């Protein structure tokens, strides 16, 4: 098989510069500006109420009521951290990470940043307000109703943040041209194989997360033997998720596209007769799918997106389009396109098979 360069991979989320600036500005207003103002108001109220709080103050509530105490100033730091710092960092890293890509995942993350700020405000004001004038923090009422209100505010603000951001429709990419593959000899069976893996940065972050979880598991084993199942179950789930999504084997051949995790599951097969079109694209998992791994995009696509860069996008008949990030995506898509165009006849018995890594 001879393959010659064709058109460069198309950007599946090409967005006009004016629309991109408008989207970024609104994201920063909702995810940074509003939390700054809201947390500032809450912080002023908390500071004015601190002299009326018992020492130590109730700082944590469990199923049976108050089960944690600390200095009243704890609520100041929680207001700053949860009300502003976390929403701002989430928004800014999202805006920087997606660069010139924009999609539903970004709008959702910015909405979540706004929701976290609102939830923090309700919790801080409820927890501090309930303890004003008490001599003993053990006398404070249960915060169950306030938590329900906070969760409701969280959900409403996520929806509001979503609606207030502009809905930008990216310009669609052009499909690959069939001239990418010069010829596949009659009787020859061409198979393109490669491996898709997480980026080194993602590997490091996941490894650090696993170290933290292992540390929490060890701590729980020493302190709370009756609750050991919680961190152990979390560790097993995280380990399984990592093992099943860190690396995929991608195969393109006369039977279509096959993407399989290195441990065997999950796996997705797209037979040739189910493929409507195929193209090579540039993919930004964070901007288009809200993260990495096996994802469902808010724009109707399914993604096996492990890193930023080239990807094969397959439009499937009666199913969601599938996007797979992989090096050499243009070559793999070209081989698949050649089969779609009927560029070769079925392999004859004893025909040669070529594997292209």
**Torsion of Cα atoms, 257 then 176 then 276 then 259, to 10°:** 20
Whole-model pTM above 0.75?
no
Mean pLDDT score, 47-67: 80
> In the prediction, which pLDDT does 30 show?
93
Question: Strand 2-3 relative to strand 322-325: parallel, antiparallel, unpaired?
Answer: unpaired
Q: Report helix, strand or coil for 323.
A: strand
Which class in CATH covers the domain with range 185-198+246-356?
mainly beta
Domain boundaries, given as residue ranges, for the chain: 17-164, 185-198+246-356
> In the prediction, which pLDDT does 176 show?
42
- Phi–psi pair at 260, nearest 5 degrees: -135, 135
Per DSSP, 6 falls in state -
> In the prediction, which pLDDT does 42 show?
93
Q: Which residues neighbour 261 within 8 Å (Cβ) at sequence distance 6 or greater?
A: 244, 245, 247, 248, 249, 267
Q: Which residues neighbour 301 within 8 Å (Cβ) at sequence distance 6 or greater?
A: 288, 289, 313, 320, 321, 322, 323
Q: Any idea which of 4-13, 215-224, 286-295 has the lowest mean pLDDT?
A: 4-13
> In the prediction, which pLDDT does 156 show?
92
* Local confidence band at 37 (pLDDT 50, 70, 90 cut-offs): very high
Other beta carbons within 10 Å of 201: 10
Of 31 and 140, more confident: 31
Q: Which of 38, 172, 175 is nearest to 118 (CA)?
A: 38
> In the prediction, which pLDDT does 226 show?
59
CB-count exposure of residue 339 (10 Å: 0-12, 13-18, 19+): buried
CA-only gyration radius of the chain, Å: 26
* Local confidence band at 356 (pLDDT 50, 70, 90 cut-offs): low
* Local confidence band at 355 (pLDDT 50, 70, 90 cut-offs): low
Can you tell me the distance from the alpha carbon of 41 to that of 44, in angstroms, rounded to the nearest whole number?
A: 5
Please write the tens of the pLDDT for every residue from 283-326.
877 777 777 778 887 777 888 888 888 888 888 888 888 888 88
Of 61 and 35, more confident: 35
Cβ–Cβ < 8 Å for 56, 70: yes
Can you tell me the distance from the alpha carbon of 241 to that of 234, in angstroms, rounded to the nearest whole number?
A: 10
In the predicted structure, residue 88 carries a pLDDT above the cut 80: yes
> In the prediction, which pLDDT does 178 show?
42
Of 233 and 93, more confident: 93
Can you tell me the distance from the alpha carbon of 348 to that of 186, in angstroms, rounded to the nearest whole number?
A: 8
- Provide the mean pLDDT of the chain: 76
Q: Identify the H or E element spanning 339.
A: helix 329-340
Q: Report helix, strand or coil for 284.
A: coil
Cβ–Cβ < 8 Å for 296, 302: yes
For the chain, helix, strand, coil in percent to 5 are 50, 25, 25
Tokens of 21: 């600036």
Can you tell me the distance from the alpha carbon of 268 to that of 274, in angstroms, rounded to the nearest whole number?
A: 13
In the predicted structure, residue 32 carries a pLDDT above the cut 90: yes
Q: Identify the H or E element spanning 197.
A: strand 189-197
Cis before residue 140, ω within 30 degrees of 0?
Answer: no
> In the prediction, which pLDDT does 33 show?
93
Of 170 and 174, more confident: 170
In the predicted structure, residue 6 carries a pLDDT above the cut 50: no
């Amino acid at each position: 098989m001879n393959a010659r360069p064709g058109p460069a991979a198309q950007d599946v989320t090409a967005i006009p510069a004016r629309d991109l600036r408008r989207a970024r500005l609104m994201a920063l207003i909702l995810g940074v500006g509003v939390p700054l103002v809201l947390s500032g108001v809450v912080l002023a109220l908390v500071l004015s109420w601190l002299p009326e709080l018992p020492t130590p103050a109730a700082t944590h509530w469990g199923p049976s009521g108050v089960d944690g105490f600390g200095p009243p100033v704890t609520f100041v730091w929680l207001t700053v951290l949860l009300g502003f710092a976390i929403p701002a960092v989430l928004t800014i890293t999202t805006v920087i990470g997606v660069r010139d890509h924009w999609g539903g995942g970004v709008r959702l993350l910015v909405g979540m940043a706004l929701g976290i700020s609102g939830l923090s405000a309700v919790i801080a004001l409820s927890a501090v307000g309930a303890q004003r004038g008490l001599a003993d923090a053990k006398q404070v009422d249960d915060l169950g109703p306030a938590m329900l209100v906070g969760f409701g505010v969280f959900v409403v603000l996520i929806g509001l943040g979503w609606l207030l951001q502009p809905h930008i429709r990216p310009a669609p990419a052009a499909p690959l041209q069939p001239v990418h593959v010069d010829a596949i000899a009659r009787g020859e069976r061409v198979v393109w194989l490669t491996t898709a893996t997480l980026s080194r940065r993602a590997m490091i972050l996941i490894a650090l997360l696993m170290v933290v979880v292992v540390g929490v598991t060890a701590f729980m084993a020493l302190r709370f033997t009756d609750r050991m199942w919680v961190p152990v179950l979390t560790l097993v789930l995280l380990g399984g998720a990592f093992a099943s999504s860190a690396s995929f084997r991608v195969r393109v051949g006369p039977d279509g596209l096959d993407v399989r995790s290195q441990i065997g599951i999950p796996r997705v097969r797209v037979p040739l007769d189910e493929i409507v079109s195929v193209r090579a694209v540039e993919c930004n998992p964070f901007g288009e799918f809200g993260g990495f791994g096996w994802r469902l995009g808010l724009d109707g696509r399914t993604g096996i997106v492990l890193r930023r860069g080239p990807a094969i996008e397959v439009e499937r008949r009666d199913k969601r389009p599938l996007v797979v990030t992989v090096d050499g995506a243009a070559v793999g898509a070209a081989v698949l396109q050649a089969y779609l165009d009927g560029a070769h006849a079925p392999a004859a018995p004893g025909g040669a098979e070529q594997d292209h890594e």
